[in-house]
Amino acid sequence: MDTPNNETKKTVLSFVQASGTPTLGNYLGAFKNWHDMAAENDCIFGVADLHAITVRSEPKDLRRRSVEMYAMLLALGLDPEKNIVFLQSHVAEHSQLAWVLNCYTQFGEASRMTQFKDKSQRHADNVNVGLFTYPILMAADILLYGADQVPVGDDQKQHLELARDVAERFNGLYGEVFRIPQPYIGKKGAKILSLQEPEKKMSKSDPNQKAFISLTDPTDVMVKKIKSAVTDSEAVVRYSPDKPGVSNLMTIYSCCTGKDFAAIEAEFAGRGYGDFKAAVAEAVAEELRPLRDEYEHILADKAYIEKCAAEGAQKAAYLARKTLRKVMKKVGFYQI
């Protein structure tokens, strides 16, 4: 992979938390586009396992989820020979730079992060300092690699702005140390909603297991979840804001088949929701089958995972060390 100084391609960085198996919403909203993103840019993909410990979990579960998420990245077709694919905790420079950036972030800036307020309410029994400062670790993730662009969802835009503000403050004091990252505007991903409450986003943390489809759900489980999805009493397949459940299923079907909404409406004209849900379930199963097969193949090969993770960490650390050395020198740390 080229270094971030490559003039023909942008460096794009994207991390995914090791907090559980991704959903169909994650796949159709982001992951499905990552292969194309990697073909057009120099990409760095990371499993954000350091971020995952803001919520307490069993050590064995964190290890398992980290390996599973890494295997999922490889299964998506993110070639580790052409991209950097690694686990965040394998590169110590993330934590080191985060501490330095803590000291260049104002308390008021950090306290305005809406994600902290939301997560504090959801995890009221464990409102730890890491939960408060993790946007600064995220800034370190981005700035270590001179990322030109970062794909961000609506819930992370504020964190990218914080990274930009801290980088500009540091550069204003010490010169052009950090590249100022921009949001990555690639192929638009679909917004997939809950199957049970289609007014809100599909989430793997939803306590209702019927509300989301996990990428590792067995086919029969996927089918049952889609067949139990909330619709309405009209029994007409039509895309409309007043039909959120049906519209959500149409979006899923469109993403998996490539058909537009007009074609879907014509296909199911005069047919009930039973036929429609069965077709959506089949389309989802066909869409995910190659990914699941590859994921299971990779997950069974622990030696391959460890080899890729070690090589990815080595490549990432090479870039991270260069940035951190420059930062430490500028701040005034004694260099050996």
Q: Which residue has the higher pLDDT, 188 or 307?
A: 307
Q: Which fold has domain 11-189+302-331?
A: Rossmann fold (3.40.50)
126-130, 163-167, 276-280, 289-293: segment of lowest average pLDDT: 126-130
CA 287 from centroid of its chain's CA atoms: 19
**Section 169-181 average pLDDT:** 97
**Section 101-107 average pLDDT:** 95
Average pLDDT, the chain: 91
State how far the Cα of 156 lies from the Cα of 153, in Å rounded to an integer: 5
- At 57 the pLDDT is 86
Q: Which fold has domain 209-296?
A: Tyrosyl-Transfer RNA Synthetase (1.10.240)
pLDDT-derived band of residue 2, with 50, 70 and 90 as boundaries?
very low
* pLDDT at residue 37 greater than cutoff 60: yes
DSSP state of 260: -
Domain boundaries, the chain: 11-189+302-331, 209-296
* pLDDT at residue 1 greater than cutoff 70: no
- Which residues are marked as active site? 119, 201, 204
Which tens digit of pLDDT belongs to each residue from 158-172?
Answer: 889 999 999 999 999
Contact 74/85 with Cβ under 8 angstroms?
yes
- At 160 the pLDDT is 93
Q: Which residues pair with 16 in a beta bridge?
A: 47
Which tens digit of pLDDT belongs to each residue from 143-155?
Answer: 999 999 998 876 6
Placement of tokens 């090791």 in the chain = 18
Report the share of the chain in percent with pLDDT over 70. 94
- At 132 the pLDDT is 87
pLDDT-derived band of residue 123, with 50, 70 and 90 as boundaries?
low
Structure tokens at 102: 């803590």
Number of Cα atoms under 13 Å in the Cβ half of residue 282: 7
- At 3 the pLDDT is 44
**Residue 203 contacts by C-beta under 8 Å, 6 or more apart in sequence?**
23, 25, 194, 211, 212
- At 305 the pLDDT is 98
* pLDDT at residue 289 greater than cutoff 50: yes
Cα→Cα distances 118→111, 113, 140, Å:
12, 9, 22
* pLDDT at residue 6 greater than cutoff 70: no
Which tens digit of pLDDT belongs to each residue from 196-239?
Answer: 999 999 998 899 999 999 999 999 999 999 999 999 999 999 99
- At 264 the pLDDT is 97
- At 117 the pLDDT is 67
Q: In 3-state terms, what secondary structure has residue 213?
A: coil
Structure tokens at 192: 């997939």
